[in-house]
Amino acid sequence: MTADHLADKYQPPPLDPDVDTLPKWLRKHYQEHPDQVAMRDKDRGIWQRYTWREYYEKVKFFCLGLVSMGLERGDKISILGENKPEWYWAELAVQSAGGAAVGIFADCIPSEVKYYVEHSDSTFVVVHDQEQADKLLEIKDELPQVRRVIYWDEKGLWSYNDPILMSFDEVLELGRRYDRDHPGLFDELVDAGKGEDIAVICYTSGTTGLPKGAMLSQAYEVLSLTEWSKLDNWHRKGYEYLSFIPPAWSTEQALGISASLVAGTVVNFPEEPETVQENIREIGPEVLFYGAKLWESVNRIVQAKMIDSTYLRRLIYRTFLPVGLKVADMYIEGKRPALGWKLLYTLAYQAVFRSLRDRLGLSRVKVIYSAGGALSPEIIRYFKALGIEIKLFYGSTEMGIISNPRDGEIRPETSGRIVPWARVKISEEGEILVKSHFMYSGYYKNPEATRKKLDQEGWYCSDDFGHVDEHGHLIVIDRMEDLKPLAGGKKFSPQYAEVRLRFSPYIKDVLVVGGENRTFVSALVNIDIENMGRYAEANRIPYTTFTDLSQKPEVIEIIKQEIVKINQTLPEHARIRRFVNLHKEFDADEAELTRTRKLRRSFVEQKYGDLINALYGERDQIAVEAPITYQDGRTGVIKTEIKVNRIDE
C-alpha cells in the first residue's frame, strides 16, 4: 500500500544561492532590518532584547575568533548547555566558517559527553556554565583533539585557571581584532557556504544501541522548514516562539534555530528550565512545541489542581468540561456544531476555558506541535475541548516531517495526512517506509548503518509499525521491535496501553510487558510523586519516601482502578492482569530513558528482569536491591519489598 498524495507532483522550491544556508539568512536579516528584535532572553528577571544587528555581530566575531584559533572548513564544535542565545550564536558561527555544530543534551554525564565529542571529532566545545565545564575538565585528558572549552556563563569559574578554558567574551574580542586585520573575511566565509554543507549533527536517541550522528545539511534545514511553516500558515508572520526543548534535538533545530532565520519567528529564552511555565505566560507564544511527555505532565497538573480546588470551582469545571468535549468530538468527526452547542461552548469558554488557557500560557497560541513519542488521544481530545489543536506530527531526525495534521483535521488517533514532499508505503510486515525530498545526509562515520536503513528500492525503513487509513491519515502504532507476542501467537502493542495510562494524573510513566512464553500482560508503574503526594496529604496518608508512598494500599488501589479503566478499551488478550508500583522513577542517568525521555525498553526489561519474572510467578511480593545514581554522580543502593498486585475482572 502506498500513500503518494501530492508527492509525485511535488517539486521542491529552488534553492536560492543567496540564501541557501542559515548564515546567509542571518546576513539577509541584518542587511534588511538590523534594528528589529530577533530574540529575547530573560536574565535576572529582565527580558533582554537582541536585534538582528547584535545577533549578526555576535556570530561574526565568534566565528572569526574561532578561525583565529585554527577552526577550518569541515570542522565540528560541540555545544553543551541550556537554551540560551549563546547556543544559537555559537552554532551559526561554526556554520559561517563552513563547519558543523554538534548538540549535546545538558543533562548528559561526563562519559556520554566524551562519546559525543570524541565520535564527532569536535575540535572546540562550547559550554554553558561551571557544571558543564566541570564535565569537560574531568575528561579533557581523554579528548586530545579538543583545543579549547569555551564557556558563556562565568559564574563560579572566576578562580579556574586551566589553560583549556576560555570565556565567550574572550573569543568575541579575538574575533574583533581578527576582523580588523582581515577585513571582508567573514563575508567570504559565508559566501563560500553551500546548501549541501553539513549544518548540524544530531545524535539519535539511542533506544536500540549507541547513538548515531545524523548529518543534516544546510538545504535540509532551509527548505524543510520553509515548506513546513508555509503548510501550517506561520511563515514570515513574526510569531513569538519560546525555546526550551533541547537544541541537541532536531526538533528545536527546526522550530528554534531554522524557524527564526527562515520563517521569521521571534525566539524567546526562559530564565531557567524551572521557570518555563511562568515565562510562557509572560510571552504568550503563538508557535509552541511540547513533547508528548510534557503534555502528559501539563494534563496531570491541571487535573491535580482541579482536585485540590474549591467545591464551586470544581462544580463549574465539571459542568462545562463535558460541553467542551462534546463540541470537540463534533469537530473531530467532521461535523459542524448546531447553534445551541455553539452558544453553550461560548459560555463554557468564557466561564472556564479562557482562564485555564491563560494560566497555561496558551491564550495567544496559534500553532501547537507535539512529537517525540505517542500521545494519548484523550489528551488531544481534552485540549481540543479548550480550543487548542495539538498537531501530533510524525517524523524523525533522519526523515524530517512525514505527516502533519492540517488545520481543522485533528483526529486524536492519527498524526495527520502525509506532507506533500513525502511518500509513504506500508510493507507486508506493517513497517512504515518513506521517501522524502528532505532527508538526512547519512550517519557520521557510519556508512554501513546508513545503507541498512534503505531497502532495495531506496525506501527508508522507519522501524515503526502503522498504517494509512481511508482518509489518508497516518496512524503510528508502535516500534516494530516493541510489538510483543503472547503464548498462543496473539500480539499486542505495549505503547497503546502506556500512553493511555499516562493520561492519569497519578501515573508518570509505565512499562507494559508480555512475551512468547507468557499468557497475559503485566505492567511496571511509576507513580507521579507530586500528584500522589497531594492526594496522600489531603487524605492524611502518612509516608516518608517515594518508595514508601508507592507501596501504600491506598495508592495501589488508585493505580489498580486506573488500569481497570484502560483495560475496558483493550482486547481481552491484551488486558493488564498484574502490576507493580516501582520503588523509583525511570532515570536517564541510569540509561533507563534516552535524553529525549524515551523509554529504553529492552534495557529496562533486562534490568528489571527479576521483578518482571515475579509478576508471572506466585509470590505476592519481591525484595529488590537496585543501584541508583544521584545527580552529583554518587551511587547508592535501594533495598525494599515490592508488592505484586493482581487485577481480576
| SS3 state at 474 | strand
Per the model's pLDDT, the better-predicted residue between 638 and 471 turns out to be 471
* Correct CATH for 483-646 of 3.90.1150.10, 3.30.300.30, 3.30.470.10, 3.30.70.2740: 3.30.300.30
Superfamily of domain 292-363+366-480: ANL, N-terminal domain (3.40.50.12780)
Q: What does the pLDDT read at residue 186?
A: 98
Chain mean position to CA 143: 29
The Cα–Cα gap between 109 and 113 comes to: 6
Mean predicted confidence (pLDDT) in 407-422? 91
Q: In the chain, list all ranges with CATH 3.40.50.12780.
A: 13-217, 292-363+366-480
Alpha-carbon distances of 27 from 17, 125, 350, 400, rounded to whole Å: 13, 25, 45, 26
pLDDT class for 628, splitting at 50, 70, 90? low
Residue 571 has pLDDT above 60, yes or no: yes
Residue 4 has pLDDT above 90, yes or no: no
Q: What does the pLDDT read at residue 500?
A: 84
In this predicted structure, which of 1-10, 542-551, 614-623 has the lowest mean pLDDT?
1-10
Pairing of strands 474-479, 460-468: antiparallel
The Cα–Cα gap between 365 and 321 comes to: 20
| SS3 state at 422 | strand
Percent of the chain with pLDDT over 90: 67
Percent of the chain with pLDDT over 70: 96
Residue 318 has pLDDT above 70, yes or no: yes
Q: What does the pLDDT read at residue 1?
A: 46
Residue 351 has pLDDT above 50, yes or no: yes
Cell of 648: 481480576
pLDDT class for 461, splitting at 50, 70, 90? very high
Q: What does the pLDDT read at residue 486?
A: 84
Domain 13-217 bears CATH identifier 3.90.1640.10: no
pLDDT class for 7, splitting at 50, 70, 90? low
- 509-525, pLDDT tens digit by residue? 999 998 878 989 999 99
Q: What does the pLDDT read at residue 277?
A: 84
Q: In the chain, list all ranges with CATH 3.30.300.30.
A: 483-646
Contacts 24+ apart (CB under 8 A), 6-13: 6/420, 7/418, 7/420, 7/421, 7/422, 7/423, 7/435, 8/423, 10/420, 10/421, 10/437, 12/223, 12/227, 12/421, 12/437, 12/438, 13/223, 13/226, 13/227
Mean predicted confidence (pLDDT) in 143-170? 96
> Is residue 462 within a helix (H) or strand (E), and if so which, with residue range?
strand 460-468
- 469-494, pLDDT tens digit by residue? 888 899 888 888 878 888 877 878 88
Sheet holding 400-404: strands in order across? Answer: 394-396, 400-404, 417-418
**Do the Cβ atoms of 414 and 422 come closer than 8 Å?**
no
Across the chain, mean pLDDT equals 91
